[in-house]
């Protein structure tokens, strides 16, 4: 029996989001319905509303969530009703050329539920990143559910479902940050601050946080930044070089994702250093660099999908670090809000007032 619940949808480009009634079908084979307990507001939700991802409106927004499995479809064995899970947006297939080579984190054929959630009039909804968790319940592929320690608060654990995992993974998995490295992070919202926290976990010696807002820089210090630079007042490339003996950082993480910050990241890294792009550009953006500099500076230019994470490996591990007090996930939760407050939360995100607003259900 399908069920009706509340959900936050984006109906048209740039229009304010709406809280409305949505219809959740029973889970089909390999699928699960999850009772959502918390869902963070990520910048990618705003990208969806702005038409920056695609134009398959209406979207059911929200994708950074923890909840409890309510029901599962045929053939689902790794989770069952009652399990406390964090949702992921890259359920690996196990069959594609990446998976077959043991590189599951790159799976080229990740999947979502096939059954469709709809509006009451039957209009099919496009769930953000195949999740759609600004809702009382959502339907996902069972592989999108990863069991974690139920003692972790949903607001904190859910953040691992997107931005915080992406940031931590951009540093540790993609950037390969290790003991003694110098790291610079450009853009210290939820994702960038998590890259700072990940760099500290990995033992970086120097962590330079760059943002336009002093408030973000103060928060970044709390997560482990040893130095900060406000990009309104200083040229980030010069500031980062100055703080690294004139050379640049071993790893520079662009957590904004615009040509200007990418170019800054490119020139703010040391010779043979690594650039990690984790911020998501829009389709119109272009970058122009002297090819000789690309060659001459050596090193690696990498992009980080979801922090190159493997949910089955990384979510339980990071939740354990959190429950042990070694990873401050609570520090990312600036405020807890209701389902009707998402539009206001977008405005606060754009003003730079929050690291994460988290919808609690
Ligand atoms: N790669 C992934 O898998 C992944 C996952 C989640 C989010 N993202 C993307 O990461 C980006 C950041 O997301 P977020 O949720 O942290 O957003 P956010 O809005 O919370 O943070 C962005 C931060 O960048 C700062 N900023 C903006 N322009 C800047 C500039 N020119 N120089 C320095 N700082 C600047 C802002 O002040 C803000 O603090 C977005 O593009 C989002 O879509 C990527
Ligand atoms: Zn695969
Ligand atoms: Zn996200």
- Please choose, from the candidates 66, 8, 61, 64, the residue with its C-alpha nearest in 3D space to the C-alpha of residue 37: 66
Euclidean distance between CA atoms 196 and 176, whole angstroms: 13
Residue nearest atom 24 in ligand 1 by C-alpha distance: 187
Q: Does domain 3-161+328-360 have CATH number 3.30.360.30?
A: no
Per-residue pLDDT, 198: 98
Top mutation candidate among 255, 306, 332 for ligand 1, by most atoms within 8 Å of CB = 255
Q: Report how far apart, in Å, the C-alpha atoms of 116 and of each of 30, 31, 64, 95, 321 are.
A: 14, 11, 19, 24, 36
List ligand 1's pocket residues with C-beta within 6 A. 42-44, 47, 162-163, 166, 186-192, 210-213, 216, 231, 255-257, 260-261, 278-280, 304-306, 349, 352
Per-residue pLDDT, 174: 98
Q: Which residues of the chain have pLDDT under 50?
A: none
Q: What is the pLDDT of residues 278-337, one digit of tens each?
A: 999 988 999 999 999 999 999 999 999 999 999 999 999 999 999 999 999 999 999 999
Per-residue pLDDT, 205: 98
Residues of the chain with CATH 3.40.50.720: 167-304
- Please choose, from the candidates 180, 183, 268, the residue with its C-alpha nearest in 3D space to the C-alpha of residue 223: 183
Q: Which fold has domain 167-304?
A: Rossmann fold (3.40.50)
Residues 6+ apart with CB under 8 A from 332: 40, 156, 159, 164, 190, 193, 194, 355, 356
125 C-beta neighbours (distance < 10 Å), count: 25
Q: What are 33's strand-pairing partners?
A: 71, 139
Residues of the chain with CATH 3.90.180.10: 3-161+328-360
Given a contact cutoff of 8 angstroms between Cβ atoms, the answer to whether 230 and 209 are in contact is: no
**Model-level pTM?**
0.94
Q: What are 336's strand-pairing partners?
A: 358
How do beta strands 206-211 and 227-230 pair?
parallel
Per-residue pLDDT, 52: 87
| Ligand having the closest approach to the CA of 91 | 2
Give the pair of three-digit tokens for residue 45: 């939700």
Per-residue pLDDT, 166: 97
């Amino acid at each position: 029996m399908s069920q009706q619940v509340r959900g936050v949808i984006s109906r048209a480009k740039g229009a304010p989001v709406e809280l409305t009634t949505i219809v959740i079908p029973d889970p089909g084979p390999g699928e699960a319905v999850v009772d959502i307990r918390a869902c963070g507001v990520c910048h990618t939700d705003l990208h969806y509303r702005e038409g920056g991802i695609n134009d398959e409106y209406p979207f059911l927004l929200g994708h950074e969530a923890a909840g409890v499995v309510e029901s599962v479809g045929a053939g689902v064995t790794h989770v069952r009703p009652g399990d406390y899970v964090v949702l992921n947006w890259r359920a690996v297939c196990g069959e594609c050329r990446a998976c077959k080579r043991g590189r599951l984190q790159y799976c080229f054929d990740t999947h979502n539920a096939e059954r469709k959630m709809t509006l009451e009039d039957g209009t099919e909804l496009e769930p953000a990143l195949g999740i759609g968790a600004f809702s009382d319940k959502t339907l996902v592929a069972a592989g999108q559910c990863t069991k974690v320690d139920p003692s972790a608060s949903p607001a904190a654990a859910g953040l691992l479902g997107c931005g915080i995992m992406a940031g931590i993974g951009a540093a540790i998995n993609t950037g390969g940050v290790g003991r003694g490295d110098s790291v610079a992070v450009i853009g210290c919202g939820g994702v960038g601050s998590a890259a700072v926290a990940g760099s500290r976990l990995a033992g970086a010696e120097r962590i330079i946080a760059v943002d336009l807002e002093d408030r973000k820089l103060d928060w970044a210090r709390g997560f482990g930044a040893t130095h900060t630079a406000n990009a309104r007042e200083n040229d980030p490339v010069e500031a980062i070089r100055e703080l690294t003996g004139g050379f640049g950082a071993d790893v520079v993480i662009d957590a904004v994702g615009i040509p200007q910050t990418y170019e800054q990241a490119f020139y703010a890294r040391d010779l043979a250093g690594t650039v990690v792009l984790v911020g998501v550009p829009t389709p119109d953006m272009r970058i122009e660099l002297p090819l000789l500099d690309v060659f001459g500076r050596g090193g690696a230019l990498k992009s980080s999908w979801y922090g190159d994470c493997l949910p089955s490996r990384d979510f339980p591990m990071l939740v354990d670090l959190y429950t042990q007090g070694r990873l401050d996930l609570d520090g990312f939760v600036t405020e807890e809000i209701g389902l009707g407050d998402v539009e206001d939360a977008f405005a606060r995100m754009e003003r730079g007032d929050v690291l994460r607003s988290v919808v609690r259900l």
